Structure 1
Amino acid sequence: MNIEHIWGEYRASLQAFLRKNVSNTADVDDLLQEVLIKTYTHLKTVKDPTQIKSWLFQVANNAIIDFYRKQGRQHALQEDELWYSKEEESIPSQLAGCISPFIQALPQDEAEMLTAIEINGETQKNYAEKHGIKYSTLKSRVHKSRERLLGLYQECCDFSLDSKGNLMEYKQKPNSCNKC
């Protein structure tokens, strides 16, 4: 078990887990560093390599518990420090508000198809039957249209993905977009 490989694979997921439970980004970075140190020093105690992921998240969870215990001893928490009191919108939810202008920027047939499937929730199979298109052909068109849609998003924003391709954060490029 190689620490560089393990950390490269799980770092982004661990960071996202910590962000969900700790509101201050500096504290998240400190906790992530703690998890790395504990991983480095105690990795040899993990006997089964298939248990690495659950072990890492248990270490992270324990670090969060210790963090809040330590803070509780130091001072009473203020409302703005409570991670659960904040109604932070998820990244996909933030980007969902921008999807219609991007879809409308696609060719009309693609825009109609993606609006029906992605926004109105129509199944691909049902859409294919209604429009007399082979299901496999429609799946291919939807895939290509989604790629074009992603390309439009990428013209406006930089995205950070974890090792599994999950969206971690995004940043709008300066002077690049007026769709949102």
Structure 2
Amino acid sequence: MDIKQVWQDYRCELERFLRSRISNPEDAEDLLQDIMIKTYQQLHTVQDPSKLRSWLFQVTRNAVVDYYRQSRQVPPDASFLMDEGTERYEQARQELSECIHLFIKQLPENYRLAVEAVDLRGVSQKALSEELGVSYSAAKSRVQRGRQMLAGIFESCCRFELDARGNIIDYQSKGICVP
């Protein structure tokens, strides 16, 4: 693959992608140049030409993550950093879903039942109140408090990087956290 042709084919698309995620045009241009250098250095590692576009966008997403990490800014919408369907997203999702069941078991029973019903089984809070024989307000409180407790357990065991909407874009375990 020829770097000149690759850059000619994808430069504008990558630049639009960067400018949609980084408000400072100069920073976006600097990142684009860094991505061009990385592409020049690593293009030989792309085995399948049909995967070139995906590889370029992964390099670009990683550059944006690094930019925000270095500048300690929160991106306006970082949900693109862990796109659904990517191997990284699926791996993180699987690992966190395994943890959530263990962590839910650590909740006091009334909160555990509420969180399991609403968040795992998809029961509405209204139906939960009827199921438990408590007021709607009490059911909502149990779900909210259970979620807060669960978040506390997660925060004590993991460091999370969140996007502007509060979605997890990356995480790192603080150690082994089991009941």
Give the aligned residue type for 1:114: V
Paired residues for 1:25-174 under 5 Å:
39-41=24-26, 75=44, 77-79=46-48, 82-83=54-55, 87-88=87-88, 89=90, 91-174=92-175
Distance change (3 Å), C-alpha of 1:167 and 1:76: closer
Q: Deviations over 1:7-35 (max 9, x none)?
A: xxxxxxxxxxxxxxxxxxxxxxxx97xx7
- Contact kept? 2:158, 2:171, Cα under 8 Å: yes
- How much has 1:115 moved relative to structure 2? 1.5
Give the Cα separation in 2 of the matches to 1:127 and 1:103: 17
Change (3 A) 1:147 1:92: farther
Q: TM-score, with normalisation over the residues of structure 1? A: 0.54
- Look up the match of 1:177: 177
SS in 2 for 1:170: strand
For 2:24, what is the secondary structure of its paired residue? Answer: helix
Q: Deviations over 1:40-68 (max 9, x none)?
A: 449xxxxxxxxxxxxx8xx8xxx5xx85x
Q: Output the CA distance in 1 between the equivalents of 2:144 and 2:100.
A: 16
Structure 1 pair 131/76, CA: closer, same or farther in 2 (3 Å)?
closer
List alignment gaps of at least 5 residues for structure 2. 1-16, 59-84
Please say if residues 102 and 152 of structure 1, whose CA atoms lie closer than 8 Å, have aligned partners that are also in contact: yes
Q: 1:90 to 1:39 in 2, by over 3 A?
A: farther
Q: Output one character per residue of 1:50-92: Cα deviation in whole Å (capped at 9) or x when no partner.
A: xxxxxx8xx8xxx5xx85xx66xx6582259754996331644
The 1:86/1:139 distance shift into structure 2, 3 A limit, reads closer
Shift, 1:154, TM fit: 1.2
Q: Evaluate the alpha carbon distance shift between residue 103 and residue 78 of structure 1 in structure 2; reply closer, same or farther with a 3 A threshold.
A: same
* Cα separation, partners in 2 of 1:127 and 1:162, compared to 1, 3 Å: same
Give identity over the alignment, percent.
31
Give the whole-Å Cα distance in 1 for the aligned partners of 2:171 and 2:129: 33
CA distance change for structure 1 residues 98 and 41 in 2, over 3 Å: closer, same or farther? Answer: closer
Amino acid at match of 1:107: P
Runs of 4+ in 1 over 4 A off after TM superposition: 79-86
* Cα distance in 1 for residues equivalent to 2:116 and 2:99: 13
